[in-house]
Every structure is written in C-alpha cells, then in structure tokens.
Copies of this chain bind each other. A is one copy, B any other.
C-alpha cells in the first residue's frame, strides 16, 4: 500500500469511504459522544497511516483546480518580476489554500507561442506579468479561451493592475516645485511606439503636466537607444550641462548616467526603480514600484474574477516615495545586501 487512499482508511476503521470523507472534511455531525469517538478514531487512523488527499481527484470532482498560474514573459526574469510581488502572491494564495504555478512565456506570444500556454486546462486563472505590458494579441486570446485573467504591469481599461506612473511623475515634480526648485529637467527615452511601455509616455506626461500647472518651462532629454551606451550617456549630460538644472527626474536606469557625469554637483535627482538598495550618495527622491502591493491586489482581483466571473475596471497602484538627503560620508556596506549572497 504505497499511497494511502480513503478506501484504505475506511476498511481499517470498519466504516464506509463516505464516512471517512465526511469526517476528514468536517462535514460529519458529531452530536453524540459515540460519534465523536468514531470521528476521532478515523482522524487518528488517517494521520497514522499518512493519508494525504489527492489533489487531482479533488479537482475533478469539485470542478476547479484550486490553483492559478503566474505567467512571466521571456525577458521578465532578466528585468522585471520581483520577489516581493511573488512573495505577496504566494502569501495571499496560501490563505485561501491555493497553489501557484509559474510559467515562462515562449519567446514570441503569437499563435504557436500561445498554443503552448493554453494547451491544457490545469488552473483556474491566469496572472500575467509582461515586462512591457501584455500584448493585445495575448489579452484577446485569454478572453477567447474564457480563462479568468489579470494583467499586471499593463495599462488597459479593464482587468489590469498597474503602477501609477503618471501620478508618480506628477507627484515627484510637484515635490521638487514645492521645494522651490524651478529648473527641473526630465531625462526620458525615445523608444519606438510599437515596443514602448506605457510608463514611458505616462512619466513624461506627469512631469509635463506638473510643470505646466506651475507655469515652469520643461526640459526634456530623450535619447534614442539606437546609439551606443556611451553616446546616450554623453548626449544626456551635454544637454543637462547646458541647462544647468536645479533638479533632474530620470526614467529608471538613467539616473546613473547623471550622477556619474563630470558636470554633476549633487543636485537632487528623482527616479523610478524596483531595486531595494540605491548605490550612490547623491540626494535622491526614489519612486519605488509598488511590487508587493501590486501582487496582492493582482491575486485578489483574480480570485474575485474567478468567483464572480465578472471582469473589473483596471486599477492603478501608487508608487512609494522615499527621500534621502545627500551625504558626504563614505558609503558603507549595507547591513544585509539583498542582492548579494
């Protein structure tokens, strides 16, 4: 008897399988002492024999899998997906006793790539993370497959949970303005619209909106990625050097170009990142992507959708702003470097 099943317990206990099932699922009315004793005996026997319910058998009779799938695009592991997001997703699922399966999307999300994903029915819903947002083609496919889905990091009218880049950029700019800083520059990116994440447009729009409201002249530097890395770096800093900014707001990743440039003299910089640690000592205003929050809201939305079958209006999650004044101290080793072994 390699693997114990309900029938085994029933036989040893001298009752029917149905009774065992009821007892083990708490659907056994234990009114009288004799029944309590019986139930206790069955439970003890089950534990002793090492009984574990077979999830597959359960799924088939209950009509659901008690599992959702986290779908991550191919580039996702290089850049985007965060352990905080993953941790939060697992925590929520744990509460409702569901499993999480993780799947990597094939290179391309066109016809055959999709086929791979929807080949079999093994989860109740789909949580997706695409580094530059879920492609429309894929969103449509999910609808066609009638699989309850939630799209993280994607800005569409419905069924999405995404970071509020627009609001974050606006807030950041306003903070600088309230400090009395006026010459605020924005360093963005020039990316072809086709492969562009919504955040590229939204952060820029947030900055421009706040500057416009304050009647300040904006300065936008948006190098294209076509040139080499050095070219971008130099291009950004030539522009900034001319402008003599009192503060700089950078699209995530470009802040390093600024703080390491020769002209830079420690003016406040604001930028967006998902990293836990910041490795330089300039005064900085960091907008952290709300990974954990997004994960939590994402699963919850998905669970609701699975239960009700209804789609929902997309939800923007606010960034978290932390401010660190500059310091002339030598940089210290972090107490526990998160990304090091």
Contact A77 B67 (CB under 8 A): no
> In the bound complex, do residue A119 and residue B60 qualify as a contact, i.e. CB atoms below 8 Å apart?
no
Chain B residues lying within 8 Å of A339, measured Cβ to Cβ, are 274-275, 339
Q: A60-B54, A230-B332, A279-B279 are in contact. Are A252 and B81 (CB under 8 A)?
A: no
Per-residue B-contact encoding for A261-280, CB less than 8 Å = 1, 0 else? 01000000000111100010
Q: How large is the interface on A (under 10, 10 to 19, 20 to 34, 35 or more residues)?
A: 35 or more
Stretch of A8-16, A93-101, A239-247 on the interface side: A93-101
Chain B residues with Cβ under 8 A from A78's Cβ? Answer: 83, 336, 338
Asked whether, in the complex, the Cβ of B274 is within 8 Å of the Cβ of A122, the reply is no
Q: Is the CB of A122 within 8 A of B103?
A: no
- How far apart sit A171 and B289, CA to CA, in the bound complex (Å)? 40
Report the bound CA distance from A53 to B120 in whole Å.
5
Which residues of A5-49 are within 8 A (CB) of B?
A: none
Verify if A224 is at the interface (C-beta below 8 Å from B).
Answer: no
A112 CB-CB contact with B under 8 Å: no
Known: A55-B121, A59-B56, A272-B341. A333 touches B101 (CB 8 A): no
A182 interface hit (Cβ, 8 Å) = no
Question: With A and B bound together, what is the CA distance between A120 and B56 in angstroms?
Answer: 10
CB distance from A219 to the nearest CB of B (A): 20
Residue of B nearest to A84 (CB): B77
- B54, B101, B253, B338: which contacts A67 (Cβ < 8 A)? B101
- When C-beta atoms are compared, the residue in chain B nearest to A85 turns out to be B77
- Report whether A102 and B122 are in contact in the complex, using a CB–CB cutoff of 8 Å: no
CB distance from A317 to the nearest CB of B (A): 14
Q: In the complex, are the beta carbons of B341 and A253 less than 8 A apart?
A: yes
A50 near B: Cβ within 8 Å? yes
Is B341 a contact of A274 with CB atoms below 8 Å? Answer: yes
A87 in the interface (beta carbon within 8 A): yes
Whether A79 contacts B341 by the Cβ 8 Å rule is: yes
A52 to chain B, nearest CB (A): 4
Docked Cα-Cα span, A253 to B337, in Å, equals 6
The verdict on A334 contacting chain B, using a C-beta distance below 8 Å, is: yes
A205 at the A/B interface (Cβ < 8 Å)? no
CB pairs A–B below 8 angstroms (14 shown): A52-B121, A53-B121, A79-B341, A90-B104, A100-B103, A101-B102, A229-B332, A253-B337, A256-B332, A256-B334, A257-B332, A260-B331, A260-B333, A274-B340
Besides the contacts A53-B121, A77-B87, A91-B104, what 18 more A-B pairs have beta carbons closer than 8 Å? A2-B146, A52-B118, A52-B119, A54-B60, A55-B65, A56-B57, A56-B59, A56-B60, A79-B338, A90-B104, A99-B103, A229-B335, A233-B332, A252-B341, A260-B331, A274-B340, A274-B341, A289-B341
